[in-house]
Amino acid sequence: MIKLSYEEVYSIIKPCGLGPKKSRAILELSSILVDQFNSTVPSDISLLEKLPGVGHKTASVVVSQAFNIPSFPVDTHIHRLAQRWGLTSGKNVKQTEKDLKNSFDKKHWNKLHLQIIFWGREFCTARSCWGLECKICKACNPGRKRKFIHKKP
């Protein structure tokens, strides 16, 4: 990536949204990885979070998927699902991550993170289920008659 121009990176990143900012972050991150980490992505969450464009969720995904280190990345969709399913009463993703980590054995975190994402995409979408449509929502709340009101993250 470090050998590409800003324009080349931007043309690749543009479909993801926020292209200008992400393109600059990728180029800066690439330079840092080459100069400070001998072209190797660190496996430590705290080091990853110091890199441009890398927040806690991204760092957690990297350690989970690239290094198979147990982590439970939580985005707003996982946060909403965990609320619907009664796995958290947290009002933000940080609290939800803590609650999910306390609810499940560490050895299952990486797989569960992906399972929740895939289930949510297929059966319990962020904006359409509201706790009445998917099988998990129905099983968790069999008497529910009205839409679930999410606590804003």
pLDDT in tens, 77-119: 999 999 989 999 999 999 999 999 999 999 999 999 999 999 9
Residue 4 is predicted with a pLDDT of 93
**pTM, whole model, 2 decimals?**
0.86
Which structure tokens are listed for 104? 């499940």
Q: What confidence tens digit (pLDDT) does each residue in 119-145 have?
A: 999 999 877 787 788 899 889 888 888
Question: In the block, which residue shows the tokens 């806690």?
Answer: 56
Q: What is the mean pLDDT of the chain?
A: 92
Distances (CA, A) of 102 to 48, 67, 82: 23, 22, 13
